Amino acid sequence: MKRTTGQDRTQTRNWRPATRAIRGGTWRSEMGETSEALFLTSGYAYDDAATVAARFMGEEEGMTYSRLQNPTVAMLEERIALLEGAEACRTQATGMAAMTAALLCQLSAGDHMVTARAAFGSCRWLGDHLLPRFGVEVTVIDAGDLTAWEAAIRPNTKVFFFETPANPTMDVADLAGIAAIAKAHGITTVVDNAFCSPALQRPMEFGIDVVAYSATKLMDGQGRVLAGAVCGSEEFINDKLLPFQRNTGPNLSPFNAWVVLKGLETLDLRAKKQSENALALGKFVEARVPKILHPWLDSHPQQALAMKQMDACGPIFSFVLDGGREQAWGLLDGLKLIDISNNIGDSRSLMCHPASTTHHNMGAEGREAMGIGEGMLRINVGLEDIDDLIEDFDQALTKVGL
């Protein structure tokens, strides 16, 4: 195995994003394959006993066991780090394995974490149920309010954890503002960037310390595999994340890593085109429904902040109907092209009713606090022809009297 031509680290960092997404981190075996090789192996064999001993002592580079290193997984990690502009990256089996690892690797009993009310349901579960069981105190705040972050800080606060835009309310949090407050108090910021991917938003450019991903979403982008990733400084990854990950084993399978490598080749194209479709569809939907939550439309209260942080609107937006669950389900059931599905980031357009699916577990009170009503629908806009998407919406909206 050797790096392909031009792959020394300084050069790859000069490449523009679309080039990094296709070529970054590529190693080639002696076969000279053009596409990245898939090393579906758990173990490695050695020429002699001295070699394996040197590798175990860290005196010689090389693979020893796939929970510690795997060539296909390593290519993906290097590529994601390049796209993110991060010093280092490690991948995990799912987005939730990534979030859990990013938090548990640095929090201990007696520490305190501040987190956002509007978030992916399982991310809220970590703060509401898992961390408190291990003696970590958690305060939940409204991420859009900078004074709330400041006010929640205690002497033992170690981590700020949030996502932007948030699922499914599309609340936008001020990355630079929150990072500055955290830095002033020696607090580590962890951002879940699954809604955007590095093609649309790179939180480290705004001072965020750790960026965690569900690579299941835009990075794979074709609804095939689950995957996760954590990006940070060499120091964070080597000193905090790696000891946790290598000993607890939430690793990404080499096969899934290979699928995500293929996904990254088209990430830039897909993210831009899906955003273009989401903007056009958002404008059409806005004229027909009482309320839309779309970061690129004038009606979004944080439109300017969203446009400062994101390169494009991304594939996801939500909207609210006055007729509650009955009208929302009626619209879903009336769709002929767009699928009823709770996944996002896929190249297919998918729509879901958060109150009865992704945020069902929160209970009515929890949903009300997050602003998720029975009339809310969330859509992931895919790569289909925009005119077909508009026609499907048009006929489904007409069926429910809109």
CA–CA dist 257, 287 (Å, integer): 42
Q: Which of residues 49-88 bind ligand PLP (CB under 6 A)?
A: none
Annotate each residue in 142-181 with x if it binds ligand PLP (CB under 6 A) or - if it does not, as one string: ---------------------x---x--------------
Check residue 194 for interaction with ligand PLP (CB under 6 A). Answer: yes
Q: Which is nearer to ligand PLP, 163 or 268 (CB)?
A: 163
Give me 50's structure tokens.
């001295």
Task: Tell the residue number behind the tokens 């997984």, with chain if given.
Answer: 73
Residue 231 and residue 210 in contact, taking contact as beta carbons nearer than 8 Å:
yes
| Residue span binding ligand PLP (CB under 6 A) among the ranges 94-102, 173-181, 182-190, 290-298 | 94-102
Nearer to ligand PLP, 252 or 397 (CB): 252
Residue of 217, 240, 353, 359 interacting with ligand PLP (CB under 6 A): 217
Cα–Cα distance for residue pair 242/258, rounded to 1 Å: 21
Task: Report residue 204: phi and psi, to 5°.
Answer: -65, -25
Would you say 229 or 402 has its CB closer to ligand PLP? 229
Distance CA 402, CA 163 (A): 32
SS3 281: helix
Please identify which residue in 95, 127, 295, 373 interacts with ligand PLP, judged by CB under 6 A.
95
- Among 176, 177, 146, 139, which Cα is nearest to 161's? 139
123 sits near ligand PLP (criterion: CB under 6 A) = yes
Q: Does 256 bind ligand PLP (CB under 6 A)?
A: no
CA 43 to chain centre: 30
In the bound state with ligand PLP, the residue whose beta carbon lies nearer, of 75 and 96, is 96
The DSSP output letter for 315 is S
The residue among 187, 161, 179 whose CA lies nearest residue 99 is 161
Is 350 in contact with 380 (CB distance < 8 Å)? yes
Q: Which residue is nearest to ligand PLP (CB)?
A: 95
Q: 89 or 123: whose CB is closer to ligand PLP?
A: 123
Cβ atoms of 199 and 166 closer than 8 Å? no
Among 26, 66, 189, 216, binds ligand PLP (CB under 6 A): 216
What lies within 8 Å, CB to CB, of 260 at 6+ separation is 76, 91, 215, 219, 220, 225, 227, 252
Pick between residue 121 and residue 282 the one whose CB is nearest to ligand PLP.
Answer: 121
Smallest distance from the beta carbon of 207 to ligand PLP, in angstroms? 20
Contact 379, 350 (CB under 8 A): yes
- The residue range among 71-79, 192-200, 245-253, 306-314 that interacts with ligand PLP, by the rule CB under 6 A, is 192-200
One residue of 107, 210, 226, 379 binding ligand PLP per CB under 6 A:
226
Distance of alpha carbon 64 from alpha carbon 45, whole angstroms: 8
Cα 32 to Cα 26, 147, 211, 327, distances in angstroms: 12, 56, 34, 57
From 70-78, 210-218, 273-281, 288-296, give the range in contact with ligand PLP by CB under 6 A: 210-218
Going residue by residue from 297 to 336, which x/- string records binding to ligand PLP, judged by CB under 6 A?
Answer: ----------------------------------------
The residue within the footprint of ligand PLP, chosen from 24, 25, 144, 228 (CB under 6 A), is 228
- Residues found near ligand PLP in the complex (CB under 6 A): 94-96, 120, 123, 163, 167, 192, 194-195, 214, 216-217, 226, 228, 344
